[in-house]
Amino acid sequence: MLIPFSMKNCFQLLCNLKVPAAGFKNTVKSGLILQSISNDVYHNLAVEDWIHDHMNLEGKPVLFLWRNSPTVVIGRHQNPWQECNLNLMREEGVKLARRRSGGGTVYHDMGNINLTFFTTKKKYDRMENLKLVVRALKAVHPHLDVQATKRFDLLLDGQFKISGTASKIGRNAAYHHCTLLCGTDGTFLSSLLKSPYQGIRSNATASTPALVKNLMEKDPTLTCEVVINAVATEYATSHQIDNHIHLINPTDETVFPGINSKAIGLQTWEWIYGKTPKFSVDTSFTVLHEQSHVEIKVFIDVKNGRIEVCNIEAPDHWLPLEICDQLNSSLIGSKFSPIETTVLTSILHRTYPGDDELHSKWNILCEKIKGIM
């Protein structure tokens, strides 16, 4: 049963709030099931942060159900340039988000369900949560071959991954969240989660590739709505609570004071890209010059998402050394971003007005460099 989350029926699971607890009237004794009405990844991730930071989960676990519009979500310690096709994402309008938990990169769309299990640190148990999901799926489809693995994934028919896991463990609270593929665009998923960038060296956490499959490919009746209700029912049974899914608006400051500032923080360049572990790019490419190919070498060190060392080498007969040096010095300190390179192109045009050949070579070089960003 779906219940709108209002001032009259909202919960009071928090006791250690550092902000006013506006909107929390009734005390829930044994647990709660929440579902977001938003499909915005940043607002939904902010709900996770808010619950983890502000709720007293002692004896009162929470299940949070949410779905997002097309988004690639990377783990806390990952490198987006290694994990996904950022150029394709920009072209298709797919969002990029960095979550607070570790783990690998996943693709979200409206055919995927996200489940977040909140408990105290002492009650944290990923395998128990996954077994709950398995029971829920088997309640709908008794002969479904789905199992939890030692890596805390869910496999369909012993080989296809339908769910990946990540978690965050705090001082007192913890959460385990997982995906559940029902009807995700598998072709889009594969294209977006394949990095085209060459020559990246990094100690960032790398994702483990896996064969994936949708539940609806096995049984068309296993829609997101059916699976959400099944998981909620099993969760309610397991925790001996009412089977009510409370709908929440993750932008409602009267219920979640301060939550919008959390969502804004999750959208910043400094968080999404700037938190990338230090890495380097060592690559080369060729350009056509007078019916022969010229090799351009590129070495870049990136720290906190900004270029710390830059060494772009081009043959002097193709591009004067002072121009290469100017590009190298101009890029140092700038964001490792194609937008920054576009700005530098405009600067050179003003510095060397009227030199069309130089402008053409500079544009070619900048476009090539933008291709690795």
What's the average model confidence in pLDDT over 143-149?
A: 97
pLDDT tens figures, 172-196: 999 999 999 999 999 999 999 999 9
Q: For the chain, what are the domain ranges?
A: 32-273, 279-372
Q: What is the pTM of this model?
A: 0.90
What is the H or E stretch that residue 87 is in? Answer: helix 86-92
Higher pLDDT, residue 71 or 288:
71
Residue 22 has pLDDT above 70, yes or no: no
Amino acid at 20: P
Beta bridge partners of residue 201, listed in sequence order: 280
Going by pLDDT thresholds of 50, 70 and 90, the confidence category of residue 29 is low
| pLDDT at position 299 | 97
| pLDDT at position 91 | 96
Residue 24 has pLDDT above 60, yes or no: no
| pLDDT at position 207 | 97
Residue 12 has pLDDT above 70, yes or no: no
| pLDDT at position 1 | 57
189 phi and psi angles, rounded to 5 deg: -55, -50
Q: Tell me the average pLDDT of the chain.
A: 90
Rg (CA), the chain: 24
Select from 135, 159, 155 the least CA-distant residue to 147: 155
Residue 23 has pLDDT above 70, yes or no: no
| pLDDT at position 259 | 98
Same fold, 32-273 and 279-372: no
Residue 116 Cα to chain centre, angstroms: 14
What's the average model confidence in pLDDT over 41-48?
A: 98
Segment among 193-207, 287-301, 336-350 with least mean pLDDT: 336-350
123 phi and psi angles, rounded to 5 deg: -90, 0
Select from 298, 364, 308 the least CA-distant residue to 336: 308
Q: Residue 211 burial (CB < 10 Å; 0-12/13-18/19+)?
A: exposed
Residue 81 has pLDDT above 60, yes or no: yes
Higher pLDDT, residue 368 or 156:
156
* Cα separation, 19 vs 261, whole angstroms: 13
Going by pLDDT thresholds of 50, 70 and 90, the confidence category of residue 344 is confident
CATH numeric code, 32-273: 3.30.930.10
Contacts of 292 (CB under 8 A, 6+ apart): none
pLDDT tens figures, 309-319: 999 999 988 88
Tell me what percent of the residues of the chain surpass a pLDDT of 70: 91
Higher pLDDT, residue 264 or 347:
264
Residue 138 has pLDDT above 80, yes or no: yes
What Cα–Cα distance (Å) separates residue 205 from each residue in 92, 104, 114, 174? 26, 7, 21, 21
CATH topology (fold) of 279-372: Enolase-like; domain 1 (3.30.390)
pLDDT tens figures, 209-250: 999 999 999 999 999 999 999 999 999 999 999 999 999 999
Contact 231, 65 (CB under 8 A): yes
pLDDT tens figures, 48-73: 999 999 999 999 999 999 999 999 99
Q: Which two tokens stand for residue 313?
A: 């080498």
* Cα separation, 232 vs 318, whole angstroms: 65
Going by pLDDT thresholds of 50, 70 and 90, the confidence category of residue 98 is very high
